[in-house]
Amino acid sequence: MIELEKQLLFLEKRLIYLNDIKGEIFGERLNTLQNWLAKLKEQLYTLSAKDVQKNINKISAQISLYEKEAEKKLTPLDYVRIVRHPFRISLKDILENVYDDYVELAGADECNIDPAVVAARATINRKVGHRIYTYQVMVIGHEKGHGEEFRNGGSAKPWGNAKALQFMKVAETEGIPIHSYIFTPGAFPIEDYPGAAQQIARNLYAMAGIRVPIIAFISEGGSGGAEAIGLADLRLMFSHGYYSVISPEGAAAIEGKLKEGKKASPELIRFCAEQLKITAKDNLQLGTIDRIIQEPPLGAKREDYDFFNRLKREVIKATDEVILSVKSLGTLRAYHYKKNGYKDTDNIYVRWQLDEKEIQRLIQKRRQKYRNMGTNFYVDLRSPLHRKVSNLKDKFLYAKTYICYDLLRRPRRRIQQFSEEIKAELLVIFNHLLSPLVKLRNKILPPKLSYLVSEELQEMEKVCLRGGYVSPRAKVDKTISCPNAERYGCYDIWIPDLYSEFCGICPNCGHHFPLEYQWYIHCLFDKNSVKEFNAEIASINPLNYKGFDEKLEEARQKTGRHSAIITFDAKILGIELIVAMLYSDFRGGTVGAAEGEKFVLACERAKRLRRPLLAYVHGTAGIRIQEGTIGVIQMPKCTVAVREYLEAGGLYIVVYDNNSYAGPVASFLGCAPYQFAIRSSKIGFAGPRVIRETTGEDIPPDYHSARNALRRGHIQGIWDRRDFRKNLYMALRTMGGKNLYYR
Amino acid sequence: MTSKQQMKIEDIIAEYKRNPYQVFTISTPHTGIVSLKVTKGQKVQGTTGKWLERKGTLLYTLVRQGNEKRFYAPIDGEITDLDESLDGQFVEAKTPLMSIKHKLSKEEAINKVLEKFLEIYNAPETAKYYLAPELYQKIEQKGLKKALINPGEELLIMSRMKRDVVLNYEGRPGIIYVIYFKPNTTVNQGDPLLGICPPEQLEFISHLVKRIYLEWE
Amino acid sequence: MEKVLIANRGEIAIRIMRACKALGLEYVVVYTEEDRDSEHVRLGRENGGKVFRIASYTDPNEILEIADFARCTAIHPGYGFLAENYRFARRVTQRSRPLIFIGPRPEVIKELGSKINTKSIAKRLGIPVIPGSDRPIYNEVEAENIGIKLFHQQWEEGIKHPAILVKASAGGGGMGIEEVYDLNQLRAVYRRIKRYAKKHFGDEGVLLEKKLSDFNHIEVQLVCSRHGERVHFGTRNCTIQSIFRQKRIEVAPAFDPDYRYQFDPNEITEKIVSYSLKMAAYLGYDNVGTWEWIVTPEGKFYLLEVNPRIQVESGVSGFISQIKKQPRGVDLVKEQIRLALGEKLKYKQKHISFHGCSIEFRIIAEDTLHGFRPWGGTITKFKLPQHDWLQVHTHVPQDRPYAIPSDYDPNLALILVWGESVAQAKERGKRLLEEIVIEGKNNQGEEIITNIEFLKERLNSIQRFAT
């Protein structure tokens, strides 16, 4: 009887689940089943066991039928519902059922720096023939805990992501693969150190060079939070998961331009869920994931043991695949894989260890993987001939740089260093011989008139801001109030003064009013030194998001440009540099495939030409939601490019201005070693509204201010706009030192 | 607590219960053309929010040199003495427009009563006052009711006739309990600037606060 | 007809009012709440005149809003407040309802707005300036180079104990200045001043200058029209100052004709006047202005700065001046307004003559024995003498008690005397200072403190050097 009761209970759960996920399509039919089940429960002890079992089988069959029917009618929004359901498999279930043994690291349940993130050392066994092999792996992932409140729905706090990074490093030291399981609706958007955005950026940067295989499994891939542990060699996705740039509700709030506190209509949410292309199939098509792991109808629940078995095989296979793709293999096995592909590894033992050469290949391959992502989702408007010509030009430039810096400079520098050494030696001897005379002379005569030599004296004169540009805003005879007037007693400012001489800065309190991006292009760099490249790489509407074509066209009309980023060569007092400038006039400075590609190209150009790279963020609202996960993968893609540039010896400086938020900050901007902010700018992961909605708490009005970002250690300094040119010049000189290789 | 003190507290509470109102006069800060946005007898809401980030009811607008500024109710209450004849007119600086009759809340009543028990540091001259930088920082870091000031330390900067004079704190060590003045506004001689509480009095004061909490309706 | 908005307070507002009346112009007076009892408000209301209460004299928006509302056509900024704010001048003349700015062209005010720029213009014209940097220094190495040079120059001149001044270039009024007597200290001082300048003025530029220990502060009064006419109204000596370098006694002419200097005063006067005119011509200067000079006991002179506005002490120059055969006494405020409105000068340099000597005293409620601390309180009795050799400018009422507002300097009155000779003027000055009656009390019931004793004492040393 106990067995039957158990079965009944299980049926009940299945029914509840079915009702929760897709109840609306069955209407009365589910009620009938429910009543049947309830009646059966009442009669459990009056009916014979056989009869009960019969009924159970009948009901079960009916439920299975319904489940299959529901499965066919699943809409994108239903997948969201599935992954958020408390019955959904969680990381702990996987650790219990897929791995053979595990030890949870850094915390247990509530007693944990962040219960939303679980790290565990685990073993996984594989049977080959009669032998059993045991692999050691590091499992890192989000734990939703079947609705346990302290798990925070799998939303990792900044320190949770830091914990993930800590154990990735452990895995790297130990040389064991990392399995990362993504079960997150998104990162918890708080700025406390180490900071939501900054920590994700740090994780991405680290993963771009981690020396062990990483395999990621996505169940709930909520944008930046997912990327924090998602930059993997292989990305697998559960068939009933979703992977999206933003929650459908969040997208609907933006789409509907809703005021705070208002809820979006269910229709709008459904519309967004469909437009965002969030399902596993969609993502496979977009190339943002590599494979789908099939789940049972309506998704895997914690009792689906068949699924765990399948998952185990997939986990092993995926790890094998990554390892084998970079391994130097014996002839026989090489032949085998060539013939059958890496997938057929069931019966062959693969050592999950790599030597140095293979590690390099692994990292190279990983970087290439992200480099190639999303390349089909923008257009280059240049004619093929035009493209060829400019390609040729670039090649010539690269060759010149190579000759100048690598072939000629190095030997010359060596000779120079040698001669300096000799001179210094000689001077020591000389001083010894002459010292009595010098002392005598100093006694008799007043100190000699001797000037110190400094070649930089004249240069400092020129670092003041360049004038000659007048903002179109300066043409109104009106005044404007400074937002700090009440606090500092600032007078109203005459607009023609504010937008010309004052550089948009309140002369009393120093508040920075926003200025158009053109001001920076004109005033920051040497005259006629700004030369744009890749202007013709254009944003498109890769997901055919309804209504977005019009918005894109509007942005093009408004700005006369094709994407939200401008990349150009420029000079500051003769120092050549590459600049990537995100500006908010074009779709809020959001980053999509075209922007990501242009940024990567700028990194590559800076690397090849051996020039410093400045990312000036005039404003960015984050990843472009209308590009869905194509947008999201720009985060790892660009971060990889930054890492390659920095490893080649580049100097990368980020300067934030106005409003810099979300994805870009949480990746290729936030990972920069030098980050500065212009005064009065706001930097952060999510805006006040999102914070209020996810954390349920109000934040102070200055929560994202540059000052607070500095206080939290997210940035290295705050710059006055008037000192921008000077500070940038100083930064290039001091951080690059006297021997900047690009001078 | 002595019975004398007890009596005094009761007297004070009774007095505030009799007339629990305070009237705020709303005047224009500068010249311009005024448009009134409230009517006589209207209930208005003051600034709210944990960081006083949400503005109160819009009282009036003032247009000067093409810049329309909005002015909001600083405090809850009822509009009285509204000068409707000024609507749409040019006004000089510091022209009274209306008053807000504000019913004291429990906390405000407490503050009022506290004024009688704290050591009040009054303005020695009519001047503008600023907290001394070190004290300002201390309060920024620790918050009000936590920052201790010792005799001899710099308390305030008094700015008058274009000259800044540093005022040092004299008297027993105390905790800065309340700040009554706003920076950059002229404080009349004798008006309260700071309410200072000697550390050993802290207990009595908190007891007092509790009493009023219980008795104030 | 033109209507002038008087954008100032106190005695200068009254002087402008009088000048407008004399020219037959309409005017509008503004005041702040704190100034409600000032004489300039009462006089503004006389004869149905309109006065406007504003929030602040330094807020251009208040001034312009009143100018628009009262349909004014010109603005007189007086001295202080907005007088040397070229942005204000520019806004006044370039706004959609343009007004006449009674002062030089904004471009000129801008050029002369910084001492450093003035210095470099002077250098370009071959006009001597105090040796030192002629632009703000941002670089330690350069600062040291200049320091070394300045010390060596002084050694070569035979100065035994040379010294230099290190100043914040954006500073003023004695703030952010340190003296250096030893080259080894220079670096430390430079860094200190740089930090100070950055903190207080937002610009870390630093100036280095030779330190002069003994000198006279001499001014040349120019009057120029919008038509390229330029004349001077002689010189003034403003050496008697407070410790914060604020003038207390001014004398016209600059040098005592009955005293033997180490140099020929006529020659120096001629030189600095002609240099001043040269620079005015170069700048296209077009209103009243003052060229300030430093003269050493040996007769070396250096241009210090130019004040592109009417000055407090313009009266002493007017008092001794005569145009053609008109009676002695020229109102330079009136000249300023007339010329700013576009009139021609109507006289030439040769028509201007100077007679006798005039001394101006600034009567201020301040404690000269304790760091010139301003005194605040209420004046209960204020009686100023009357003589035909006397001019008085004051906004303090003499018929009722007056509380000195705390937001402004406690200036009470300007009193000017005239004498046939310096000796007579001094004599009359002494008498005048004895005759003034001021009574008052502050909140603590203490008696009023004024600088009259200081003025009496320093009257003896006018037009003299310390050594």
Residue type, A109: D
Are A525 and A669 in a shared domain? Answer: yes
| Sign (positive or negative) of CA dihedral C242, C246, C250, C256 | positive
Radius of gyration in angstroms for the set of CA atoms belonging to chain C, rounded to a whole number: 22
Residue A449 lies in a domain: no
- B94 Cα to chain C: minimum distance (Å): 7
Q: DSSP label at C404?
A: P
CB hemisphere CA count around C2 (13 angstroms): 23
Phi, psi of B179 (to 5 degrees): -115, 125
Kindly state the average pLDDT of the residues C366-371.
93
How many interchain CB pairs under 8 A, A with C?
40
Q: Please check the confidence at residue A115 and state whether its pLDDT lies above 90.
A: yes
Are A673 and A566 in a shared domain? Answer: yes
User: Most distant CA pair in chain A: distance in Å?
Assistant: 124
Are A550 and A420 in a shared domain? Answer: no
Phi, psi of C325 (to 5 degrees): -100, 10
Look-up of token digits 């009155």: C413
Report pLDDT for C115.
Answer: 81
The whole-angstrom separation of Cα C198 and Cα C193 is: 8
Residue A67 lies in a domain: yes
Are A153 and A51 in a shared domain? Answer: no
Report pLDDT for A743.
Answer: 38
Q: Please check the confidence at residue C413 and state whether its pLDDT lies above 70.
A: yes
**A675 with A635: CB under 8 angstroms?**
no
**Where is average pLDDT lowest: A214-218, A550-554, B116-120, C16-20?**
B116-120
Report pLDDT for A441.
Answer: 62
Kindly state the average pLDDT of the residues A299-307.
93
Q: Grade residue A169 by pLDDT with cuts at 50, 70 and 90.
A: very high
First to last CA, chain B: 23
With an 8 Å Cβ cutoff, is A496 touching chain C?
A: yes
Q: Round the average pLDDT of chain A to a whole number and report it.
A: 89
Report pLDDT for B5.
Answer: 64
Q: Round the average pLDDT of chain B to a whole number and report it.
A: 86
Q: Grade residue B151 by pLDDT with cuts at 50, 70 and 90.
A: confident
- Report chain C residues touching chain A, CB-CB < 8 A: 56, 58-61, 87, 91, 94-96, 138-139, 141-142, 144-145, 148-149, 152, 155, 183, 202
Taking alpha carbons only, the member of C86, A471, C31, A493 closest to residue B65 is: A493
Q: Grade residue C9 by pLDDT with cuts at 50, 70 and 90.
A: very high
Which candidate from A478, A488, A701 shows the least CB-CB separation from B66? A478
Are A546 and A407 in a shared domain? Answer: no
- A741 Cα to chain B: minimum distance (Å): 44
Decide if A477 and C96 are in contact by the 8 Å CB cutoff: yes
Kindly state the average pLDDT of the residues A254-279.
87
Are A350 and A395 in a shared domain? Answer: no
DSSP string, B139-192: HHHH-TTT-EE-TTSEEEEEEETTEEEEEE--SS-EEEEEE---TTSEE-TT-E
- A692 Cα to chain B: minimum distance (Å): 14
Q: Grade residue A445 by pLDDT with cuts at 50, 70 and 90.
A: low
Q: Please check the confidence at residue A153 and state whether its pLDDT lies above 70.
A: yes
First to last CA, chain C: 55
Q: Please check the confidence at residue C239 and state whether its pLDDT lies above 80.
A: yes
Q: How far is CA A30 from CA A13, A24, A57, A63, in A?
A: 13, 9, 16, 9
3-class DSSP state of A227: helix
Kindly state the average pLDDT of the residues C294-312.
94
Kindly state the average pLDDT of the residues A473-477.
89
**A563 with A537: CB under 8 angstroms?**
yes
Q: What share of chain B is helix, strand, coil (3-state, %, to 5)?
A: 25, 35, 35
Question: At C192, which helix (H) or strand (E)?
Answer: helix C186-201
First to last CA, chain A: 84
Q: Please check the confidence at residue A455 and state whether its pLDDT lies above 50.
A: no
- A277 contacts: CB under 8 Å, gap ≥ 6: A76, A283, A285, A286, A543, A628, A629
Report pLDDT for A505.
Answer: 94
Q: Round the average pLDDT of chain C to a whole number and report it.
A: 93
Taking alpha carbons only, the member of C401, C407, C412 closest to residue C450 is: C412
The whole-angstrom separation of Cα B133 and Cα A533 is: 50
Sheet containing C402-403: give its strands across. Answer: C402-403, C378-383, C437-441
The whole-angstrom separation of Cα C212 and Cα C245 is: 14
Q: How many domains does chain A have?
A: 5
Tell the CATH topology of C3-102: Rossmann fold (3.40.50)
Report pLDDT for B11.
Answer: 77
Q: Please check the confidence at residue A641 and state whether its pLDDT lies above 90.
A: yes
Q: Which CATH class is domain C213-467?
A: alpha beta
Give the best residue of B27, B28, B34, B65 to mutate against chain C (max C CB count within 10 A): B65
Residue A3 Cα to chain centre, angstroms: 49
Ordered structural domains, chain B, with CATH = 21-103 (2.40.50.100), 107-215 (2.40.50.100)
Two tokens, residue B37: 């946005």
**Where is average pLDDT lowest: A394-403, B96-105, C84-93, C330-339?**
A394-403
The whole-angstrom separation of Cα A8 and Cα A15 is: 10
**A537 with C127: CB under 8 angstroms?**
no
The listed range with the strongest mean pLDDT (A116-120, A432-436, B129-133, C404-408) is A116-120
**C219 with C236: CB under 8 angstroms?**
yes
The whole-angstrom separation of Cα A429 and Cα A222 is: 69
Same fold, C3-102 and C131-210: no
Phi, psi of C163 (to 5 degrees): -150, 150
Q: How far is CA A480 from CA A396, A492, B64, B73, C7, in A?
A: 51, 5, 10, 21, 22
Q: Please check the confidence at residue A459 and state whether its pLDDT lies above 70.
A: no
Nearest CA in chain B to C244: B163
Decide if A457 and C96 are in contact by the 8 Å CB cutoff: no
Cis peptide before C397 (omega within 30 of 0): no
Beta strands, E only, A275-328: 291-293
- C433 Cα to chain B: minimum distance (Å): 24
Burial letters A321-334, b for 16+ CB under 10 A, else e = bbbbbbbeeeeeee
**C359 with C316: CB under 8 angstroms?**
yes
Report pLDDT for A735.
Answer: 81
Range(s) of the domain holding residue A271? 84-371
Tell the CATH topology of C131-210: Dna Ligase; domain 1 (3.30.1490)
Radius of gyration in angstroms for the set of CA atoms belonging to chain B, rounded to a whole number: 20
Whole-complex ipTM:
0.91
Are A179 and A135 in a shared domain? Answer: yes
Residue A449 Cα to chain centre, angstroms: 59
Kindly state the average pLDDT of the residues A248-257.
86
Q: Kindly report, residue by residue over C126-172, the tens digit of the pLDDT.
A: 999 999 987 888 888 888 889 999 999 888 888 888 999 998 877 66
Decide if B65 and A479 are in contact by the 8 Å CB cutoff: yes
Are A88 and A31 in a shared domain? Answer: no
The whole-angstrom separation of Cα B208 and Cα B202 is: 10
Are A28 and A56 in a shared domain? Answer: yes
Which candidate from C58, C87, C144 shows the least CB-CB separation from A497? C87
Decide if A497 and C91 are in contact by the 8 Å CB cutoff: yes
Are A41 and A179 in a shared domain? Answer: no
The whole-angstrom separation of Cα A373 and Cα A366 is: 11
Question: At B215, which helix (H) or strand (E)?
Answer: helix B202-215
Are A425 and A491 in a shared domain? Answer: no
**Residue A732: CATH number of its domain:** 3.90.226.10
Domains in chain C: boundaries: 3-102, 131-210, 213-467
Percent above pLDDT 90 for chain C: 79
The whole-angstrom separation of Cα C72 and Cα C2 is: 7
| Sign (positive or negative) of CA dihedral A443, C213, C175, C217 | negative
Kindly state the average pLDDT of the residues A373-381.
92
Catalytic residue IDs of C: 309
Of A73, A107, A131, the domain-final residue:
A73
**C253 with C236: CB under 8 angstroms?**
yes
Q: Kindly report, residue by residue over C29-77, the tens digit of the pLDDT.
A: 999 999 999 999 999 999 888 899 999 999 999 999 999 999 999 999 9
Q: Please check the confidence at residue B8 and state whether its pLDDT lies above 90.
A: no
Phi, psi of C311 (to 5 degrees): -110, 160
Q: Please check the confidence at residue B189 and state whether its pLDDT lies above 90.
A: no
Which candidate from B31, B162, B163 shows the least CB-CB separation from C62? B31
Taking alpha carbons only, the member of B182, B33, B46, B172 closest to residue B103 is: B46
